Amino acid sequence: MKKKTNNQSLDLITTVDVLNTLSGGISEPQQKLYESDAGRELRFRVAGVNKGFMNVEIHNNHLTIYYYINIASYDKLVQVPQIIYNRPIPYYIDISKISATFEEDQVVVHMPFNRLSNGYHRKLRINEN
């Protein structure tokens, strides 16, 4: 049986290992999650990182928030992504209406609920063969 690896842990371990080796460390991001009747809101702040450098992507039903760290190597500038959030989007979030904004020094991701957020119920008729 093949062992399943947690992608978030793998991303974190790889990034921390490389960045600690090359640059001596990184700032710990601050993350807050709020929930209302309309949806969820994720707020992120990374000390020392300009909000213009933050990126938010949806790929294969995963929400990823990251920024690049520039590292000089052999007289070349290499951009290494620093992933601060990478998780699957739950089925009850309306993926087509997810949006991101800047508020002060934070990236705010708005994730509205879809019609499945209250659950799904249907009585099935049992047919005879």
What CATH number is given to the structural domain containing 36?
Answer: 2.60.40.790
Q: Model pTM? A: 0.70
Band (pLDDT 50/70/90 cuts) for residue 119 is confident
User: Own/partner pairs for 76-84, CB < 8 Å, 24+ apart?
Assistant: 80/15, 80/18, 80/19, 80/22, 81/15, 82/15, 82/19, 82/26, 83/11, 83/12, 83/15, 84/29, 84/31, 84/44, 84/46
Total tally of structural domains belonging to the chain: 1
Residue 1 is assigned to a structural domain of this protein = no
Higher pLDDT, residue 52 or 111: 111
Range of the domain at 23: 7-115
Band (pLDDT 50/70/90 cuts) for residue 57 is very high
Mean pLDDT of 59-83: 88
Residue 107 is assigned to a structural domain of this protein = yes
Residue 128 is assigned to a structural domain of this protein = no
Q: What is the pLDDT of residue 28?
A: 80
Residue 129 is assigned to a structural domain of this protein = no
pLDDT of 8 above 80: no
Residue 56 is assigned to a structural domain of this protein = yes
Residue 122 is assigned to a structural domain of this protein = no
Mean pLDDT of 96-101: 95
